[in-house]
A and B are shown apart, each in its own frame.
Chain A
Amino acid sequence: MTTKMFGTGVARVEDQRFLRGHGTYADDLLVDDPRLLHAAVLRSPHAHARILDINVDDVLEVDGVVAVWTYDDLTDAMAEPLPLLIPHPTLTHGRTQYALAKDEVNYVGEAIAFVVATDRYVAEDALDRIRVSYETLPAVVGIDAARKAERLVHDDVPGNVAARMEQNTGDVEAALARSPHRLSLDWDIERSACMPMEGRGVVGRWDPDTSRLTVWSSTQTSTGVRGCISAKLGLDLAAVDVITPDVGGGFGVKINHPWPEELLVPLAAKTLGVPVKFTEDRREHFISSAHERAQQHHVEVGFDDDGRIIGLDVRFWHDNGAYIPYGLIVPIVASTQLLGPYKPEVYRVVFDSLYTNTVIVTPYRGAGRPQGCFVMERTIDAIAKALGKDRVEVRRANFIQPDEFPYDQGLIFQDGRELEYDSGNYPALLDKLLTLIDWDGFPAYQAEMAAQGRRVGIGLACYVEGTGAGPYEGAHVHIETSGKVKVATGLTTQGQGHQTSFAQIVADTLGVRFEDVEITTGDTRKMPYAVGTFASRAAVMSGSAIHLAALRAKEKALRIAAEALEVDEADLEIADGVVGVKGTDAQIDLGTVAVLSNPLRYAFDEASKRATQFSVGDPGKPPVAEDDEPGLEGKDFYSPSRSTFASGMHAAILETDPDTAEITILKYAVVHDCGNVINPMIVEGQIHGGVAQGIGGALYERMAYDDSGQLLNASYMDFLMPFVTEIPDSIAIDHQETPSPLNPLGIKGAGEAGVIPVSAVFAAAIEDAERIPITAMPISPSELFELRRHHNS
């Protein structure tokens, strides 16, 4: 009997390959092709400047340089700005950059020229030969400068405002007016970035004999990249294949597309007729990919004696960088997911999305939720403090209750659908967390530590995460005559372990051996209809689609097997790849069923002999019935009406050093509800990684721009991504499984969750240890030291 795979912590089968160094990333491709050329990009050294002249006369003199492109060499659609991927009615002043800068640059790192040479070393030598004359302009750096708007990023965008958006659930002024208590609060989150270990990478190969383009990109959406290349290069979609090789991390930055290089590499490959590769280096990743997080929030909150929120009025300013190709997703997510598991009587949010002369802002794991969570959770802490109440009790007073689902928050979410929570149980989740962190025992511990001169503090934060956004994903399941199962789904994989988790679904649904299932992702040749891997959607979307497609394949297998075995379908069961008649020894393996599904004229091996014309079929009927197809396959798509909402709560105990202000994590606890769990080991791995990234965002990482728009810490030496030594050795984790009613497997997304509440938790714990309000994150020991001085003076 097949063991149930769904819900089991199966070890990731892909790890053998990755840990042994056998992964194949974009930079590993075509290395043996002697024709392969390498690209390098000249990037703006100025944050804001007009380009007066670009002189490339000396470039082609460099031995090994093959070609150079500037804006003037681009034609037709390539000469138009890059697409604004997600338009929105309130995005009245959307601006995107050109593949190569036209007349003006708006951030340090913006692409200006593209050089192709025999190797990357030569290509970089050539960059030094390009002479660009600039007229530098004053730079707008940071939200304060953007709001003041004394200088403009784009001449035709007044106030630097790309969009102003408002949502409300009622008359917030009236709600505030009738509240017995009111607070006015300001919260601030700084810039950070995803920083995947592998940067961006693109390889393009043009086949002149067939006029076809093959592109490999380290992307989170191969279908999106394919569509852009087809549109920009004027190629039929059918002439373009985009393949996603192994991807060394995405975390959001690789969902934005097309990057200039994703168009310029194919253009160069097609123009030159030879393969071309671009591999982004670390400095480039810092200054020419994407950042996130920076927001300033002002909150007016009114509440009753129990801390129940009556009116919540949030005004915030979002730094979207120099351009806004990914639209308003981040601020919309921040403004809606801010509410978390709570139900204020009336909520209003207004935000401005602002241009600055810095790297563009696109979703980074959490995508606005860490900011929203920070604002909401810190606001609740402030309410508790104002009322002299326990922070836990104020949260309980504001929770949506288990019998209130589905719960409509009365807002429109990032996918254009209602912000309606499908299921959850927040009070029970909080109980689990309090047990895990020993909340009730903490005051005694804190007093005990204080007696030793040690400062410890505890903090907690709750969040709700909309996961599995549409529009759809699909899957194709093919059972070969060997009995092996080949599955294709179109979204991409950048470390999630899809070969393992998706194969678990197929093994259970189809009744085949886990090791007989092979999953292909992100290859437009195998599945041209797909969206991408972001928004914690892969398991929900492709997991469901794969399940549905496997059911279709199973349906057909049972039909053919029933015919072959001359029994009723209802009497059949499939286990370990064998279709058997319940209660008897009669059986037929799936490989044979696959043989029978495909009537053949020619026998090419022993197995296929059984499917040839003198062996099978009723001579009175067509070999393939009118409503049937040859082959044992199933294909289906999953398209949900709206997102499904996962939830979680974190708590931490921190220690702050009274002398050095260093911050040490003593204990970290996570409770998490992502519905039915496919693979608990993978989910816990996602939580570990998310928390680690959250620790980076809370205590270490920031983008240190100076006033002129130079990024001062564009290296791993000065951008302080935490090492394993900065992450706690263990994170206490407990799961709760509240199935989603929206999909056939009852699952919710888990990819981003771990990162969301970390800054809120740490700010609360530091505040508890220090008795100093913590209103801005991240925080360094030096900043804590300065806060102490300021507070004590």
Chain B
Amino acid sequence: MKPAPFAYRRPTTLDEATRLLTEAPGAKVLAGGQSLVPLLSMRLAAPDTLVDINHLPDLGHVSVDATGVRVGALARHAEVLTSVAARRSQPLLALALANVAHATIRNRGTTVGSIVHADAAAEMPMVLTLLDGSVDVVSTRGRRTIAAADLFAGPLESTLAHDEIAVEAFFPALPEHGGVAFEEVARRHGDYALVGVAARVLLEGDTVTSARLGFVSVSDVPVVVDVTDALDDPAAAALPHLEPADDIHASADYRTQLIRVLSPRVLERAIAMAQGRNHV
């Protein structure tokens, strides 16, 4: 469990970092390393170069304005989780992040890194998708914004080009009459979810004008299903879009059961939050 040989680069400017990526087509970006380093040690990945971005300036921010929360590429999960401003702007961030692994991993792992790692069993790619967020990426060719809906191409595959660095994720604020909720079932605290479900709803008065569910661990890429017209049985509406599968931890049928149990639960909770905010 020792990595194959690789070159290690530690740029101190973003320009230098993007240039290094352009020059080394086999390079990988190292941020928190919580997914990449185990892959290297198991020799499941053997990039010829690691570009360590931990010494780049100005990427550690968790900044909040009226539109939402901007998370820099070097902001650790723990920093996003504990940001009171971020939690006020978009409560789903903290609700989901509390389920991301364990404290020691959250202290090191980055939210942006987790998103572009594009694991559909991870919470934050789904959260970004459910919230219609986006990621800003930079290369020697310039900067562009990728909407969450266009970000995930397949299992562990994002639409970033090999020379692009994700520098920031944007999570839109929760509208005044909106509510969110999240729940997952995992074998142990901090494990990948067997199934996780998040809900985001919008209300006008007491009427639900929008209800969407996002799912973890039951698809190849994060899946969001609009259940506005299926409030009575959101799971039934969602199931055709999901592919719960057997693995060594749970049967596909059990995962289906969890979808059935968790979907109405989080939906109800999100509506309750929206109603509570309505009445403030």
**Interface on A for B, CB 8 Å cutoff?**
120-121, 124-125, 128, 281-284, 659-662, 700, 704, 712-713, 717-718, 720, 722-723, 725-726, 780-782, 785-786, 789
Contact = CB atoms under 8 A, between A and B. Distances in A.
A725 B5 contact: no
Interface of B: 1-5, 42-43, 102, 185, 187-192, 194, 248-251, 253-254, 257-258, 261
Contact of B4 (A125, A722, A726): A125
B3 A712 contact: no
Given A125-B5, A283-B1, A786 B188 contact: no
Contacts of B257: 659-661, 785
A128 B2 CA distance: 12
Contacts of A789: 253
B190 A725 contact: yes
A786 B1 contact: no
Given A700-B188, A723-B188, A782 B4 contact: no
A704 B254 contact: no
Nearest to B254: A782
A723, A725, A782: residue with the most chain B Cβ atoms closer than 10 Å:
A782
B2 A723 contact: no
Given A660-B185, A780-B249, 17 more contacts: A120-B2, A121-B2, A124-B4, A128-B4, A281-B1, A282-B1, A700-B187, A720-B191, A722-B188, A723-B189, A726-B188, A781-B185, A781-B187, A782-B254, A785-B251, A785-B257, A786-B253
Contacts of A125: 4-5
B38 to A, nearest CB: 8
Contacts of A713: 248
A121 B2 CA distance: 5
Contacts of A722: 188
A720 B1 contact: no
List 4 A-B pairs, minimum CB-CB distance, nearest first.
A725-B189, A782-B250, A782-B254, A281-B1
Contacts of B190: 723, 725
B68 to A, nearest CB: 32
Contacts of A781: 185, 187, 250, 254
B187 A121 contact: no
A723 B251 CA distance: 23
24 contacts: A124-B1, A124-B4, A128-B4, A284-B1, A659-B261, A660-B185, A662-B185, A704-B248, A717-B191, A718-B249, A720-B187, A720-B249, A723-B188, A723-B189, A725-B188, A725-B190, A780-B187, A780-B249, A781-B250, A782-B249, A782-B251, A785-B253, A785-B254, A786-B253
B268 to A, nearest CB: 14
Contact of B258 (A121, A660, A700, A780): A660
B101 to A, nearest CB: 10
B188 A720 contact: yes
A722 B138 CA distance: 41
Nearest to A786: B251
A471 B192 CA distance: 48
B3, B4, B192, B254: residue with the most chain A Cβ atoms closer than 10 Å:
B254
Nearest to A121: B2
A649 to B, nearest CB: 28
Contacts of B102: 723
A282 B2 CA distance: 11
B2 to A, nearest CB: 4
B5 to A, nearest CB: 7
Contacts of A723: 102, 188-190
Nearest to B189: A725
A780 B1 contact: no
A283 B42 CA distance: 9
A170 B188 CA distance: 47
Contacts of B251: 782, 785-786
A435 to B, nearest CB: 32
A675 to B, nearest CB: 36
A574 to B, nearest CB: 50
Contacts of B250: 780-782
Contacts of B248: 704, 712-713, 718
A726 B3 CA distance: 32
A284 B190 CA distance: 24
Nearest to B252: A782
B3, B249, B261: residue with the most chain A Cβ atoms closer than 10 Å:
B249
A692 to B, nearest CB: 13
Contacts of B3: 121
Contact of B5 (A121, A661, A712): A121
A260 to B, nearest CB: 18
Contacts of A284: 1
A718 B38 CA distance: 14
A704 B248 CA distance: 7
Contacts of B191: 717, 720
A581 to B, nearest CB: 60
A547 to B, nearest CB: 43
A781 B192 CA distance: 15
B2 A124 contact: yes
A121 B6 CA distance: 11
A786 B188 CA distance: 20
A572 to B, nearest CB: 57
A121 B46 CA distance: 13
Contacts of B5: 121, 125
Nearest to B191: A720
Contacts of A283: 1, 42
B195 to A, nearest CB: 9
A659 B261 CA distance: 7
B260 to A, nearest CB: 8
